[in-house]
Structure 1
Amino acid sequence: MGIIGEWSYSERGTQQEEASEKLKEIGQKIAQKCKGLPIAVTVMGSLLRWKDTEDEWQHVFDSKIWETEEVESYLFPHLYLSYDDLTPQMKRCFSYCAVFPKDYRIRVEDLIRIWMAQGYLTTKNGRNDQNQMELKGLDVFRNLAMRSFFQSLEKSRRDSDIIISCKMHDIVHDFAKFISKNECYSISQHEDEVQLENHRHLSWQKIGKHLDPASICDVIGKLRSFFAENLSPEQLTPNMFNALKSVRVLGLRACKMWKLPKDIGNLIHLRYIDLRWSQIRELPDSICSLDNLQTLDLKGCKCLSRLPEEIGNLCHLSVIDLSSSKIEELPDSICSLDNLQTLDLEGYYLKGLEICLI
C-alpha cells in the first residue's frame, strides 16, 4: 500500500524531510483507497508524479470523486481522478480508444493518424499543418502513456524512446467506454445480439459471422469511424458505401473483394482509408475525388499492381503505405502531392523527400 508514497519520496529527495514525510503519509492514505487493485495504484502513482505540493496531494485525497456513487459502482474513481486532470484534447483522444476491442494492440502511428482524421489534433493557431498535428498527437499519446492509460508498451529496438504499439488494460478500456457514453462501440465475435443506437465510432470484430449492413443502416449513416475485418464482396455493397455518408475513418483490413465500389468517391468526409492485407486488385478512379483524404494504407495488398492515374488530385494526402504490396510503378501525378510526408514502399521508406526523385 505504501508504494505511491515510496515513489514520490525518492523523487523529492531534495525537499525538506518534514515535507516529504507529509507527502508520504498522504500517498499511503490514497493507496488505501485503491483497495489493492494494481491498476489503481499504478494510475494514482502516475497522477501524483504530476503534483508537486502537499495541497495538490491533499486535494486528490479529499476529492468527492472517491464517493461518487456512479463512479464507485464502476470501480473507476482512481481513473476518473487522473482523467479529470487531462486537457479537453487529451480527454477526447483517450475516450476514442474505446472503439478498439479489448486486448487489441494499437499501433501508435495509426492511432495518431486516426486522431488527425477525426480532427482531434487541431493546433493552437487553428491551422491543420500535418507535421504540427503529428507532433501534437505524439505529445498527447506520451502524456496518456505516462499516466498509465496505455500499457504493454512495445518500444523500437533501434530507439527505446520510440513506442511502436501499446494496449489498454481491460479496466481502463471499460472506463473509456463509460466516459465515451457509448459513442464508441466494439462488437466482438462472442456477442449474439447487438444493440446499436447513437454510436459514432464502430468496430466490427465478428470474424466469420455475417454482417448485414441493412440491419444497422440508420447507425451507419451517423458513423464517423467504421472498422471491420474479413468482409466479403456481398457485405461491402454500393448501398453500404452510400450509407457511410459521414465517415472519416474507414478500416477494412483483410477484406476479400477485388475492387472497391466506385461509390467510395461519394464519401466526401473520408480522411483515412486502411485496406491492409486485403485482396484489392485495383482502386476505383473515383477515390481521387476524396479531397480530404490524408492517409491511404495499402500495406500487404499483394494483388494491387497500380494506383489510379489521377492520385495527384488528393491535395491533402500525407501518407501512402505500399509496403509488401506489388506496386511496380507509380503514376506521374504523384509528383503533385505537395503535402505527402511519408511514402512507404517495398524495401524503401521515404519521408519528407521529393517524390519526383523516386
Structure 2
Amino acid sequence: MSETIVVKIGTSSLTQPDGRLAVSAIATLAETLTNLRSSGYGVVLVSSGAVGVGCARLGLKERPRMMALKQAVAAVGQGRLMRIYDDFFTALEQPIAQVLLTRSTFGERTSYVNAYNTFHELLRLGVIPIVNENDTVAVEELKFGDNDTLSALVANLIEADWLFLLTDVDRLYSADPRTFPDAQPIIMVNNLEELEELQVQTGDRGSKWGTGGMVTKITAARIATRAGIRTVITQGQHPQNIQKILQGESIGTQFAPQTRTSNARKRWIAHGVISNGKLYLDVGAIYAIASAGKSLLAAGITNVSGEFQSSEAVQLCDAQGNEIARGIVNYSSSELKQIKGHRSEEIPAILGYVGVETVVHRDNLVITN
C-alpha cells in the first residue's frame, strides 16, 4: 500500500437543497474512491449526511435542534445512507465497512489502540471504511462538533498521508466568494499563521442540513498538519479531482504538513485525549518544558482551573491562557491547588503522603504551540 488518504465529504456535497440525496455525486465519489483503492492507496471515507438523509426520510423541513430528536433522526438516516453506499460500492466490487465512533474512542488509550488496529486490518483487507460519528449514543459534551474534526482525528489515528476535505467551494478564499466576488483564492498555506496575515475570513455557518463551515475546516487542517498530514480543501461536486491532486495538479487549497512525531503515544496526547482542565505556568516552567525538554514541576504552576483526576489530560498554558502544551497529570486538580508553586520536597508535608516528583512527566507531555 503506497499511501493512505482520508476523504471527508460534507452534507452539502451529498444532498440537494431540499435534503434529498444527490445520487450522482455519491456514484462519482464511489467510483473515484474505488479507483484510488485499485491503484494501491489505502482509503478511508468520513461521511456526513445521516441527519440530513433522516430528515428527508421523515419529511422534516429543517435540521432538529433537540438532542434526542437529532439522535433519532440520525439513526434513521445512517442506515439509509449506508445502504446507498453499499449499493454503489457493491456494483464496483469494492467491499466497505461501517465504523461509528464517539469522542471517547479517542480519549481512552485502550479504545484508541483498538480503533487503530481495526482500521489497519480493514485497510490490509482492501476494505474502504466509511466513518461517521455515532450520533445515536453520543452525548453533547463528548461530541466532535462536526465531521471535519472527526476526519482530522481519524487521519491522525491511522497515520494517514493525506486528508481531503470536500466541500461546496473549490478552495479557500480570503472571504466568502458567494458574498464577496473579489475574494482572492488561496492555493497553498505553508503554516496556518499565514491566514491571519492574509486576513482570511472564515464563516462558521454550514449548509441548511450540515453543521460545518470553513472555520471547522481550518481547525481540521490545524490538527492534521500538526500530525504531519498534508490537507486539501476542494470541491465535493468533483471528487475525481482527488486523483488529479495526487498526481500533482494545483487544484483546491493545500496545507503543508509539519514534521510528524514518530511517538504514537505523544500523537494520542496531542490530538486524541480530551482536556479536562488547565494549568497556568510561569515563564521559567514554560522555558523548561518547551525549550529544555524537561518535565513539569509543581513549583512552576501559578494557577489551576477545571476539575480532573490523576492520569487525565490537561492543557499547559501561559499567563494569558494560551496553550503551550498538553500532558497527562500525576495529580488531581484538588491536589494541585494545594501544591502549586511549591518545591517537590515540600509536597509530602502538604499532602500528607509521598507523591511523584513531577506533575507532568516529559514522556507524557507534548508541545502544541
> TM-score when scaled to structure 1?
0.26
Greater share of strand: 2
Point out which structure has higher relative CO (alpha carbons under 8 A, 6+ apart). 2
